[in-house]
Amino acid sequence: MTREIRPETGSPERHLSPQELERFTECVLPYLDAAHNLAHYLLRDPYEAEDAVQEAFLRAIRHFDGFRGVDGRAWLLSIVRNACFTQLRRRRSGGDKVEFDEEMHSLEKEESEPEADLSSTIAAESVREALSQLAVEFREVMVLRELEGLSYKEIAQVAGVPMGTVMSRLARGRKQLLVALRAGAKEND
């Protein structure tokens, strides 16, 4: 279920009117930090993240006439995530070609796996490590939910998937994190 991304082929220069720049500054620019945070977690490379964000902003500027809504954050983040996934595909085309498969790994097996007991505090480092090991599609929804506090509807808009998919990815992402944290805790015993 990969979403098609239109390639940017030297599209004609789009100029913003001064009024549009004002609106852009008001509705889109404030989410630069959110954009960068998302790109950082998706790409896991600070330089690629910065380049992807700048690329995404250029697209946002070019297509600002297509921005009708009031939710500049979801609009911008969806452009950012598309830029990041394009970059990830570029990376993969050089090496392994593993595409994300929603049904990969049997759900039942996953569900029966034991979870970490979080009654004691979890080490921050283990949590970060566990998140970085998630498939990017799970990492994406986790970051949008836990760090950006987006609703399922907004996440669906950003990721370009139905709300039901958002729900199942979040549930499975959490499950996988809990399983990974338990495995990590056992290793340290």
Partner 1 sequence: MVCRDVMDRLSPFLDDELDPVASREVSRHLESCADCAAAFDRRRRLSESLRRDLEYHRASDLLRARVVRDARAAVGEGARSRRAAPSWRWLSVAAAVVAVVGGTWWVTTLPREHADDLTAREVVSGHIRSLMANHLTDVASTDQHTVKPWFAGKLDFSPPVTDFAAAGYPLVGGRLDYLQGHPVAALVYLHHQHVINVFVWPAATALERFTRATTHQGFHVIHATHAGMAYWVVSDLNAEELASFARMFAAPPAKPS
Distance of CA 23 to the CA centre of its chain: 25
Closest contact distance (angstroms) between CB of 73 and partner 1 is 14
Closest contact distance (angstroms) between CB of 59 and partner 1 is 10
Closest contact distance (angstroms) between CB of 114 and partner 1 is 11
- Name the helix (H) or strand (E) containing 78: helix 72-94
C-beta closer to partner 1: residue 44 or 99? 44
Cβ atoms within 10 Å, residue 157: 20
**Exposed/middle/buried for 160, CB within 10 Å: 0-12, 13-18, 19+?**
middle
C-beta closer to partner 1: residue 99 or 147? 147
C-beta closer to partner 1: residue 96 or 108? 108
Distance of CA 123 to the CA centre of its chain: 24
**CA proximity to 77, closest of 22, 40, 23, 131:** 40
C-beta closer to partner 1: residue 143 or 158? 143
| Residues 73 and 114: beta-carbon distance below 8 Å | no
C-beta closer to partner 1: residue 99 or 105? 105
Closest contact distance (angstroms) between CB of 18 and partner 1 is 6
**Token pair listed for 105:** 């790994």
| Residues 139 and 88: beta-carbon distance below 8 Å | no
Closest contact distance (angstroms) between CB of 60 and partner 1 is 9
- What is the contact surface with partner 1 in residues (CB under 8 A)? 13-18, 20-21, 24-25, 29, 32-33, 35-37, 40-41, 46-47, 49-51, 53-54, 57-58, 61-62, 111, 115-118, 121-122, 124, 127-128, 131, 142-143, 145-147, 151-152, 167, 170-171, 174, 177-178, 181
